[in-house]
Structure 1
Amino acid sequence: MFLNYSTTRILEILGKECQIVGAYDGSIGGIASLAEAEQGDLSFLGNPKYRSKVADSQASVILVPNDYEETPKAGQLYLKLENPSFALALICRDIEGKLLPKPSAGVHPSSVIEPDADVSPEASIGAFCYIGSGAKIGASVLESHVTVGRDAVIGEGAHLFSRVSVGDYCEIGERNRLMSGSVIGSDGYGYEYEDGTHQRVPQIGNVVTAADVDIGANSTIDRARFGSTQIGAGTKIDNQVQIAHNVRIGQHCLIVAQVGISGSTVLGDGVIVAGQAGLAGHLKIGSGAMIAGGTAVINDIDAQSKVRGYPAMPLMLFNRMAVLQRKLPDLFKRFDQLEKKVNS
């Protein structure tokens, strides 16, 4: 990847709140970490852990926090901001628009659209897509091999990457981003044991995602048994996440990779679930709760709680137990010595 960005353009993106320290007259040809950056690169200090690496960095332009007091080398520019990481995101957003421009409106001739589907003339429908009967497609982007089921709705500004599947009657909100391989509206996992066999329970509901939802690659959200599986506005779901039927997730939640959420569990707003955590069914997770990676949640969790462990327990209790566990070998040794003295 080769860039050609002037410092003037970078300052335009970052706005007036950016404080300039030092000078660099060249262009920016790349973005790299502080340790790997070379002359002509842009870098940033987003984590205090790497603060000591700024002084030795060869980057020509470095985004640093407002409280960074060191001065740049000759021919080097520091741009001081409240949040350097977000500032870099703004720059990358501008770069992304140039590297990956929005496809032009139109329908690829290899796509199949049922006659009664309603497709916006501003939509971009890529190669080998299928749009089912009665579906409504807003001014959105469907990359190649996307399937949209019967009577499904794709909101304005949504972007469905290659091989996304949106099931019958499901509704995708405005400005959603569905990454490759994600499946929205697959059958919920429901069976009843009758007459010596597991009888499938029909899943006749749908999935509804609100505005500004992101869904990672190869994640699956099951349709409801009845009613809707719901994903709230601004929620971001990572890769390889499984969300079961009738789950309801609030606004602005973060669901990290390989999380599994069982049926009918309800998450409030702003919940964070870290990687590989598992949530049992029919639970209530209060707003603002934080669930650590690998945690097994089998009971309700209060709002603003922090939990960790198997099964989930308050984070402070988990940490105390971890400290005590490290002391167990010495404790057993002392106990053995005491037992020998008593028996002698």
Structure 2
Amino acid sequence: MDHPGFWAPAGPHTLFDLVAHADATIPEAFLSLGGRKMVAIRTLDEAGPDDVSFFDNRKYLAALKVTRAGAVFVSQASATQLPETSVPLVARDPYRAFARALELFFPDAGTPKVAPGTSPVDETAQIEDGVIIEPGAVIGAGASIGRGTRIAAGAVIGYRVAIGRDGFIGPGASITHALIGNRVIIHAGARVGQDGFGFAMGPGGHYKVRQVGRVIIQDDVEIGANSTIDRGALKDTIIGEGTKIDNLVQIAHNVVIGRHCVIAALTGISGSTVLEDYVAMGGQCGTVGHIRIGAGAQIGAQSGVSSSIPRGERWGGTPAKPMAAWAREVALLKRLAKRKAADNPGDTND
């Protein structure tokens, strides 16, 4: 989809400008390159020779070693892992340095653009014939809504949000920084496109990391009431075609969910987790971040997933493990409890 974007990027910026603002340094061997200009800030796997990136998680060491980024914020210990084509920008806290560099590239991202305008339906919004906008709904500047879509009472459609045809946005829902496909149903009170939970933590306080990605929701997705989907930090948060999401589900920044997944109520999916196609998650599940759940995997209710799951497997429990192993552990605990009760019939402290 051709879209003008939600942020006005600034730059380019020289490496000298970046390290001065981000409290980093350029090693002496690279000082002659300090005037080199960077045009954007991107992830390690997406960055090119004119982009700056960062590294602070060893799960991405392989990506660091082959990155094409022109420069990378790194710790002193990790600087030797960079390709010869990348300039190390050495920082005590590379993630905090990255957060500060974002301020230079996206100076207007500190305050999200929700729905600027002086009337409920901004005059710059593009509304196709057949759209129904109920009383109290707000349509922001530059938004576009396709034929046959209904925007229910009190919903807020933010700046430059694009919504396809034959969809439904429920009462009181808010949609910002998002591109939404056809026949998408978003129920009452859902929140889509707000800040991801990104902070560079430290003893002097937690430094907010600007979230400049988007939410992409493909065709035929359904999102339950009061669920929340955060926009990406640099990359997009993506919900794949045909996926069904229950009420009160939290999907964090940079999560990628494949096609035709089913996610039950009160589930929380942490940042940068990937669900491949046809994953099913029971109610009250939770995942850690930066893991991958393989295609067709099934996760039992109330499971805590702390590692990647191979495709097609069934896992349960906390920490989650293959279903057969979990069932054996539960059965063993039950037998031990019965044995203890039989050995101590008068014990009331169980």
Among all aligned residue pairs of Structure 1 and Structure 2, give the percentage whose two residues are the same amino acid: 39
Pairing partner for 1:327 from 325, 335, 342: 335
What's 1:264 paired with?
Answer: 272
Distance 1:297 1:326 in 2: 23
* 1:243-322 paired onto structure 2 within 5 Å: 243-322=251-330
Q: Map of 1:171-250 to 2, 5 A cutoff?
A: 171-194=179-202, 196-250=204-258
Tell me by how many angstroms 1:115 deviates: 1.5
Q: Deviations over 1:80-132 (max 9, x none)?
A: xxxxxxxxxxxxxxxxxxxxxxxxxxxxxx97111211011210111111111
- Normalising by structure 1, we get a TM-score of 0.63
1:149 to 126, 150, 158: 158
> Which amino acid in the other structure matches residue 166 of structure 2?
G
Deviations 1:322-341 (A, max 9, x none): 211121145558999xxxxx
Normalization by structure 2: what TM-score?
Answer: 0.62
Contact 1:111 1:129 in 2 (8 A): no
Residues 141-199 of structure 1: CA deviation (Å, up to 9, x unaligned): 1011111111110110111111110003x111100000000001011000012570111
> Which residue matches 2:35?
none
Equivalent positions of 1:157-172 (< 5 A) are 157-168=166-177, 170-172=178-180
Gaps of 5+ in 2: 1-117, 345-350
**2:100 match:** none
Q: Work out which structure has the larger RCO, using CA pairs closer than 8 Å and 6 or more positions apart in sequence.
A: 2
Check conservation: 1:111, 1:125, Cα contact below 8 A. Answer: no
Query: Structure 2: which amino acid aligns with 1:309?
Result: G
Cα separation, 1, equivalents of 2:290 and 2:250: 15
Farther-moved stretch of structure 1 (225-234 vs 322-331): 322-331
Question: Given residue 179 of structure 1, which amino acid in structure 2 is its aligned partner?
Answer: H
Distance 1:331 1:182, change over 3 A: same
- With over 3 angstroms needed to count, the CA separation of the structure-2 counterparts of 1:327 and 1:195, relative to structure 1, is closer
SS of aligned partner of 1:150: coil
Runs of 4 or more consecutive aligned structure 1 residues displaced over 4 Å after TM superposition: 330-336
Q: Structure 1: which 5+ runs fail to align?
A: 1-109, 337-344
Larger Rg: 1
User: How many pairs align?
Assistant: 226
